[in-house]
Amino acid sequence: MGKPTGFLDYIRKNNEGASPLERIKHYNEFHTPMLPDERLKQAARCMDCGVPFCQNGQPIMGMVSGCPLNNLIPEWNDLVYTGEFDSAAHRLLITNNFPEFTSRVCPALCEAACTCGLNGDPVSVKENENFIVENAFASGMIKPNPPQVRTGKRVAVIGSGPSGLACAAQLNKRGHSVTVYEKDDRIGGLLMYGIPNMKLEKQIVDRRVELMKAEGISFVTNADVGGSVDAKELVDEYDAVVLCCGAGNPRDINAQGRDANGIYFAVDFLKATTKSLLDSNLEDGNYISAKDKNVVIIGGGDTGNDCVGTSIRHGCKSVVQLEMMPKLPDSRAENNPWPEWPRVCKTDYGQQEAIALFGADPRRYQTTVKEFVKDENGNLKGVTTVKLKFVYDEESKRNVMREVEGSEEYLEAELVLIAAGFLGPREYVPRAFGVETNSRSNVASEAGGYKTSVEKVFTAGDMHRGQSLVVWAIREGRDAAADVDEYLMGYTCLK
């Protein structure tokens, strides 16, 4: 431990971000990294505590506390403080294939479990991680490292999101020949089209993909496996197939008037914007525009927030975000102690921008849409919302949401975006491979593993565990790769 009193000597500082009214003028990331001397001080705040909950990644009271990848956080924080940046990057890359992604889009489960956060501000783990990996790229420390020996085994990975890329990277490192199939025109899955540029600029994804190509991994785009590409042929051609197609089946809102023109799923809205942005800087007009429209977003999670930020950048007239659940407390409740994940209200970048632009938080809690209102041409012109409350149901013996009688309210809306989560993978992919699914419509696997009901076929990521975080997708991809390796070789040395 380089500086035992670091957590006492230095206060937490974060990378400075552009003001909300300034950053809504563009679609780029908007935080400026601090100077290395200041970053060293932030790394020195790590206590090297006896029980590093930050890297634990284990469930406490039903919620994971700490990093699911078990990143060696105290070790590389200490190496940053002592200026050993390459060694810090080496320790980071042992457990995390893509820290350039997680250090941008992860909600930082590590920081929520940091011992410093028990009585103060946690260590800025996420920004320290970003400093390490970006410095490693800039210095040339991260470079192609193809395997010296090939095993002769061939693996197809279906889907190029974080789980698919992590699985491919691990299997390639082992010496297997890996081909990644992606249904879209660009590699990256949700990293490319599900997360807006403001959180993850796409040259960061392309940089990693080019590195993986140089290491010997093959990529095939516009390959809709189970659709335009025959699933059985892939199973026959390869020694193993790994399904990493994500949870692409969005949850719908089946209210009266749902067939109105102007209602879209959030994933389609965000994808169209990013694709048009990359193709033509939005000049081709091939996206769902929120310009000059009253926008209502149904859903209060990260995707809903991304829709708020994107709609504002389009130039929307107004934006309202509906959340079915009650507002969380602003600070930890007594029944939610450290190191549990803090169930507190978070105001994210999109909501911050709405407050700055329109003067009010866009969120309306315990509210949902009761009716979509159409004009005579079938176009959306508004929504009728209704308040919700929890009521104890005697039959099910649990609290359920019920409408509050007389609480209806009409909101003008020419665009509605449904960001209510996902129900599992697109059905045609599991059907094409003949794999069993579970009660949640996810692809089922053997207990504690990733092998499906079909010989040679494995699964990982959101397709396997359900809608989750990028960090969990990477964890799943790595673990599935170890299962595949053991299946192919009789043993595995992958971690």
| Residue 137 or residue 393, greater confidence | 137
* pLDDT tens-place string over residues 453-471: 999 999 999 999 999 999 9
What integer pLDDT is reported at residue 1 of this predicted model?
61
Domains 154-248+423-489 and 263-418 equal at CATH topology level: yes
Ramachandran region of residue 317, left (φ > 0), alpha (ψ -120 to 50) or beta?
Answer: alpha
Pairing verdict, β 218-220 and 31-32: unpaired
Averaged pLDDT, 186-197: 98
All structural domains of the chain with their residue ranges: 6-139, 154-248+423-489, 263-418
Averaged pLDDT, 71-97: 97
What integer pLDDT is reported at residue 352 of this predicted model?
98
**The domain 6-139 is classified under which CATH number: 3.40.50.280, 3.40.50.300, 1.10.1060.10, 3.40.50.970?**
1.10.1060.10
Is the link from the previous residue into 339 a cis peptide, with omega within 30 of 0? yes
Residues 6+ apart with CB under 8 A from 442: 247, 424, 425, 463, 464, 465, 466
DSSP 8-state class, residue 195: S
Among 148-152, 261-265, 437-441, the range scoring the smallest mean pLDDT is 437-441
Distance, in Å, from the CA atom of 368 to the CA atom of 13, rounded to the nearest integer, reads 38
What integer pLDDT is reported at residue 125 of this predicted model?
98
Ramachandran region of residue 237, left (φ > 0), alpha (ψ -120 to 50) or beta?
Answer: alpha
Averaged pLDDT, 155-182: 98
Q: How far is CA 30 from CA 20, 104, 198, 354, 361, in A?
A: 9, 11, 7, 16, 21
How does DSSP assign 278-317, residue by residue? HHHTTTT--S---TT-EEEEE--SHHHHHHHHHHHHHT-S
Contact between 336 and 222 (Cβ < 8 Å): no
Closest to 171 in 3D by CA, of 485, 491, 495, 487: 485
Q: Is the pLDDT of residue 418 over 70?
A: yes
**Enclosing H/E stretch for 264:** strand 263-265
Q: Is the pLDDT of residue 177 over 90?
A: yes
Closest to 211 in 3D by CA, of 100, 80, 132: 100
Among 47-56, 186-195, 359-368, the range scoring the smallest mean pLDDT is 47-56
Residue 62: band (very low, low, confident or very high) from pLDDT cuts 50, 70, 90: confident
Residues 6+ apart with CB under 8 A from 423: 247, 249, 250, 251, 440, 441
Contact between 43 and 92 (Cβ < 8 Å): no
CATH T-level topology, domain 154-248+423-489: FAD/NAD(P)-binding domain (3.50.50)
Residue 48: band (very low, low, confident or very high) from pLDDT cuts 50, 70, 90: confident
Half-sphere exposure of 395 (CA within 13 A, CB side): 1
Distance, in Å, from the CA atom of 217 to the CA atom of 376, rounded to the nearest integer, reads 54
Averaged pLDDT, 486-492: 98
Residue 370: band (very low, low, confident or very high) from pLDDT cuts 50, 70, 90: very high
* pLDDT tens-place string over residues 372-390: 999 999 999 999 999 999 9
What integer pLDDT is reported at residue 462 of this predicted model?
97
Domain 263-418 CATH class label: alpha beta
First-last CA distance in the chain:
26
Q: What percent of the chain has pLDDT over 70?
A: 100
Averaged pLDDT, 73-96: 97
Residue 394: band (very low, low, confident or very high) from pLDDT cuts 50, 70, 90: confident
Q: Is the pLDDT of residue 2 over 80?
A: no
DSSP 3-state assignment of 170? helix
Distance, in Å, from the CA atom of 195 to the CA atom of 217, rounded to the nearest integer, reads 24
* pLDDT tens-place string over residues 223-255: 999 999 999 999 999 999 999 999 999 999 999
Distance, in Å, from the CA atom of 356 to the CA atom of 464, rounded to the nearest integer, reads 39
DSSP 8-state class, residue 448: T
What integer pLDDT is reported at residue 50 of this predicted model?
86
Averaged pLDDT, 116-136: 96
